Structure formats: C-alpha cells, structure tokens
Amino acid sequence: MAVIVLLGVLLLVVLGCVCVFRDARGDVPRWVHVMAVVTLAAGEAVSHSGKRGRRGSGDGGGGDD
C-alpha cells in the first residue's frame, strides 16, 4: 500500500515538473499554467518548512564541506 502511495506522489511530482517546463515555454492551456503555479507554490512551501526545521538544530551551520 505504501508503494502505491509513493508512486502516486512521484507521478504528481513528475507531472508538476512537466507543467512548469511547458508553462515556461509559453502558449499553454490554462490548466497547465494553474498546475505550474500550484507546483511552484508547493515547492516553496516545502523549501521554507525545511529551512524552519534546520534553523533550531544547533549544529553551527556550514554545509557539506
């Protein structure tokens, strides 16, 4: 069951990326533009939530040197 859910999420991610790519090229149907906007907004939300979680980790920052 978990594999089916993960495959569904992967499919949504891939389709979202395709919509973003097509929207960047222009002249697309409205639903493609809407999906691209939703995908970009979801990416920003995930990015901000990850930064919030790492802020309080206390590891001193830096990176993967």
In a domain, 60, yes or no: no
- Number of residues in the chain: 65
The model's pTM is: 0.68
More reliable by pLDDT, 36 or 54? 36
More reliable by pLDDT, 61 or 17? 17
Residue 55 to residue 48: CA distance in whole angstroms: 11
Residue 12 has pLDDT above 90, yes or no: yes
Structural domain total, the chain: 1
In a domain, 51, yes or no: no
Residue 37 has pLDDT above 70, yes or no: yes
Domain coverage including residue 36? 7-44
Whole-number pLDDT of residue 9: 93
All residues at 6 or more sequence positions from 20 whose CB lies less than 8 Å from its CB, including other chains: 36, 39, 40
Residue 34 to residue 13: CA distance in whole angstroms: 14
Q: Bin 29: left if φ > 0, else alpha if -120 < ψ < 50, else beta.
A: beta
Residue 28 to residue 60: CA distance in whole angstroms: 45
